[in-house]
Copies of this chain bind each other. A is one copy, B any other.
Amino acid sequence: MTVAKGVAVTTVLVVDDEPQIVRALRINLTARGYDVRTAHDGAAALRAAAESKPDVVVLDLGLPDIDGAEVIEGLRGWTTVPIIVLSARGDSGDKVRALDAGADDYVTKPFGMDELLARLRAAVRRGATSAAPAEEAVVEAESFTVDLAAKKVRRDGAEVHLTPTEWGILELLVRNRGKLVPQKQVLHEVWGPAYAGETHYLRVYLAQLRRKLEPRPSRPRHLITEPGMGYRFEL
């Protein structure tokens, strides 16, 4: 899902060369809060998919340029995004080919909008559960490990308890491991936009984190201060 301002918006790519179908889908999907992108032929569909990273694709088989099965294969080469095939041809050979090429569902025209929407929800639901695990959830430093998914920190096997603020800082730095994170960014993301000047907070909390995590808190090896600039997490 595309995430904007903390709200997950589902993006749907509609691929069809019949304007009235595209129009009907756009109206219905937009009304239900989906972000709708469209493409009118196979080449445009592949481009649009690569670009807008949709959460689900609705694909008509009768495209002017490329055969539908090839579009499916083109997508399946690099993404597991759910694909719902629309087709006027109801014969079973087409269905079998499309599904075996990698489509997730097959709906015959004319279709009921209710049914299509329900199948769309089902496809998105599946996509959401299977997609996730991308990012590596557990990061290992020399003297401690950070589990970003479980929000746990372990040191010498024992779990270390962090307060919400401590965790917020550590998470931010670990997600940007190796990179310098400016003071302003830390303050902004952990405390909020109104705290850009409270650099003293950072000194206090970084000291606390080092005391809890560093083998030698006064000679930090992982939670590095870059004077005047910001902080950096090193493995």
Which residues of chain A have a CB within 8 Å of any CB of chain B? Answer: 80, 92-93, 95-96, 99-100, 102-106, 112, 114-115, 117-119, 121-122, 125-126, 129-130, 132, 149-152, 163-164, 167, 178-180, 226-229, 232
User: What residues of B have a CB within 8 angstroms of the CB of A117 in the complex?
Assistant: 96
Q: In the complex where A105-B105, A122-B103, A228-B163 touch, is A150 in contact with B96 (Cβ < 8 A)?
A: no
Give chain B nearest CB distance to A128 CB in angstroms: 10
Contact B150 A178, beta carbon cutoff 8 Å: yes
A/B interface sample: 13 pairs, CB < 8 A:
A95-B114, A95-B115, A95-B118, A95-B119, A99-B122, A100-B121, A102-B125, A150-B180, A150-B232, A151-B179, A151-B229, A152-B178, A164-B228
Contact A115 B96, beta carbon cutoff 8 Å: yes
In whole angstroms, how far apart are the Cα atoms of A178 and B149 in the complex? Answer: 9
Contact B150 A121, beta carbon cutoff 8 Å: no
